[in-house]
Amino acid sequence: MTTVQDPEDLTARARIRDAAIRHIGEHGFERATIRGIAESAGVSLGLVRHHFGSKQALREACDEHLMKMVRRLHDEAATGLSAGFSPVAVMGPYRAYLARALTEGGASPLFDEMTGIGERWLSAADRERGEAPDVPARARAAVMAAMALSVPVLYPHVARAMGADLSTPEGERLLMRTLIEIYSRPVLSPEAAAEARAALG
């Protein structure tokens, strides 16, 4: 894996944040407690409050950390995929947190970050197209972000349906190859797409 560790990840603050990610992933935000997070991190309740002040501030720190991870993965992908590129491995420890947060209406900053990345990528691709798309890049990017984030939310179902353990290198390669296939080949022909647009009025 090529992602460089954040120096902050060596601090007590980062240990508390990582414990919160695990605790919220297991219990959900409403049922998670500062005391439970402190116990999971092996620190005092006072130290958690010293670093974060409140459970909401702690959740915001968790979301910010995930946004950093997404930005790093995007930057690595932008420089060209390599054998060490492993988004499933990088995001694996945060899968339960993501599933909880997204289904409970949280993780808005992360979703918006992914939408913004997708919008920039699509806007650049649109400039290379022969004809302007019917739908704004922002709308398409929002749906793409939802589709990408549905994998951690529906992870057991995706793995079962694909018949692969996505946590293994072989399973991850299959997932990555599947995504490349989906994004590189249109499902509808131009004629079928035109008929569908006409039917929508």
Is 23 part of a structural domain of the chain?
Answer: yes
Is 43 part of a structural domain of the chain?
Answer: yes
For residue range 19-42, what is the model confidence (pLDDT) as tens digits? 999 999 999 999 999 999 999 999
Is 192 part of a structural domain of the chain?
Answer: no
Q: Tell me, what's the pLDDT at 10?
A: 55
Is 104 part of a structural domain of the chain?
Answer: yes
Q: Tell me, what's the pLDDT at 3?
A: 42
Q: pLDDT band at residue 80, thresholds of 50, 70 and 90?
A: low
Q: Tell me, what's the pLDDT at 82?
A: 61
Percentage of the chain exceeding pLDDT 70: 92
DSSP 27-78: H-TTT--HHHHHHHHTS-HHHHHHHHSSHHHHHHHHHHHHHHHHHHHHHHHH
Write b or e for each residue in 89-126: b if 16 or more Cβ atoms lie within 10 A of its Cβ, otherwise e: ebbeebbbbbbbbbeeebbeebbebbbebbbebbeeee
Is 164 part of a structural domain of the chain?
Answer: no
- The size of the chain, in residues, is 201
The residue with greater pLDDT, 10 or 100, is 100
Is 127 part of a structural domain of the chain?
Answer: yes
DSSP 120-186: HHHHHHHHTSSS--SS-HHHHHHHHHHHHHHHHHTHHHHHHHHTS-TTSHHHHHHHHHHHHHHHHS-
Is 136 part of a structural domain of the chain?
Answer: yes
Q: pLDDT band at residue 81, thresholds of 50, 70 and 90?
A: low
Domain count, the chain: 1
CATH code (residue 109): 1.10.357.10
Q: Tell me, what's the pLDDT at 151?
A: 86
Give the other-Cβ count within 10 Å of 132's Cβ: 7
| pLDDT-wise least confident of 10-24, 64-78, 107-121, 137-151 | 64-78
Is 189 part of a structural domain of the chain?
Answer: no
CB 45 within 8 A of CB 27: no
Structural domain of residue 14, as residue ranges? 7-153
